[in-house]
Amino acid sequence: MKGVIFNVLEDMVISQCGMQTWNDILDEQVSGTGVYTASESYPDEELFGLVESVADKLEMPMADVISTFGTYMFHQLAARYPVFLNQSDNLRDFLISVGSVIHIEVQKLYDNPNLPTFSYDTIRDDQLIMRYKSPRKLCVLAEGLMRGASEYYKTPIEIDHPVCMHKGSDHCDLVVRFDHG
């Protein structure tokens, strides 16, 4: 996982729980310095260990922490890389651009970022099915990111997750419903 993701987790924990909590979590989980360079790769297990400690400290289920982290991450990445959002003037177009335009741009920025793949079913106007595939099975993180995008575009959505890699499927279907009310 790229260091930028660790940087975002650090920002979130420090802004919500303070520096002491972040230092305690690093002491528990990390043998190195706990300083992460945005473009460097670090072991996935290290990130998951940190997230597990955050879940312990906040007494929240892991899935909730990962989803909340995804939403926070969206806003942080949006601030760092506004160019990715300028290309789409609505949430639906933005979500569709993630699998093609945005992930291609991210691959130019970061060496071998190991991104998930998305394919899309766009048949219905009021619905978008995003088919997620990744060996990391971080579909909950993807959901959190999508909720961040929903906040950014001020467009309410509902996300259903009827097919999931955690339930034995080889992919996840994230069914996004747009509220036209």
Nearer to Zn ion, 3 or 148 (CB): 148
Residue 138 interacts with Zn ion (CB under 5 A): yes or no = no
Stretch that binds Zn ion, among 15-23, 27-35, 84-92, 157-165 (CB under 5 A): 157-165
Cβ neighbours around 48 below 10 Å, total: 16
Give the integer Cα–Cα distance in Å for 61 and 116.
23
Neighbours of 125 (CB within 10 A): 9
Q: How many residues does the chain have?
A: 181
172 near Zn ion, judged by CB under 5 A: yes
| Count of residues that interact with Zn ion, criterion CB under 5 A | 3
Under the binding rule (CB under 5 A), the answer on residue 4 touching Zn ion is: no
Which of 13, 66, 139, 157 lies at the binding interface for Zn ion (CB under 5 A)?
A: 139
Instruction: Give CA separation, 92 vs 8, 54, 82, 125, 129, in Å.
Output: 25, 32, 17, 9, 11
CB under 5 A: which stretch of 21-29, 121-129, 134-142, 149-157 binds Zn ion? 134-142
Nearer Cβ to Zn ion, position 91 or 174? Answer: 174
